[in-house]
Amino acid sequence: MDVRYPIGKFSFDGVVTREILDDWIRDMEQLPSLLFEALEDLNEEQMNTPYREGGWTIRQVVHHLADTAINYYARIKLALTDEKPVIVPFDESKWAELPDNQLPVEVSLTLLKTIHTRFCNLLRNLTDADFEKIYVHPQTGESNVGLTIGIYAWHGKHHLAQITTFRERKGW
């Protein structure tokens, strides 16, 4: 198993249907509680342990999930309200080194739960046409809302699996 990608890389070749979107939104809704369970009983030393050689600590992974939620929520709202907006990418590695990543993980868990509540409510109330709306990433080009939701849902499961498989390897 590749510890960096314990569930594999994101891959989707089909048509994004309402059923698939509902599955992805459900994954988003479940992430905060699954993450809370995955972190249960970890002490500070464990939180500050990298999940792989040269990788982020568990604490940084959790804060990264909150950072990503902020960014993806904003991207989707921009795509829904502007005509092909160009989004501002963020350097996740630099963000992971900022001082707010030393806060207790509960801060980011609360933030993630709150953003996902709003995010999922928004997504459940969109039309099929809304999921086709486009934003432009300066480095990767055009993306539509529907496929972006799939990438984002995979991203949460990906990082959750990094934590859970690391705990299994360590016997925590």
**Tokens representing residue 1 in the block:** 């198993």
Annotated binding residues:
64, 155, 159
**Tokens representing residue 78 in the block:** 């921009």
Determine the pLDDT at residue 154: 98
Contact 6, 158 (CB under 8 A): yes
Q: What is the pLDDT of residues 4-26, one digit of tens each?
A: 999 999 999 989 999 999 999 99
- CA-to-CA separations, 139 to 36, 88, 91, 106, 128, in angstroms, rounded: 33, 10, 12, 32, 26
The CATH class of 64-172 is mainly alpha
pTM exceeds cut of 0.85 = yes
Q: What is the pLDDT of residues 79-135, one digit of tens each?
A: 999 999 999 999 999 999 999 999 999 999 999 999 999 999 999 999 999 999 999
Annotated binding residues for Zn(2+):
64, 155, 159
Cα separation, 1 vs 167, in Å, equals 14
Q: What is the pLDDT of residues 95-104, one digit of tens each?
A: 999 999 999 9
Q: What is the pLDDT of residues 133-147, one digit of tens each?
A: 999 999 999 999 999
Give phi and psi for 49, each to the nearest 5: -95, 130
Determine the pLDDT at residue 22: 98
- Judged by DSSP in three states, 22 sits in helix
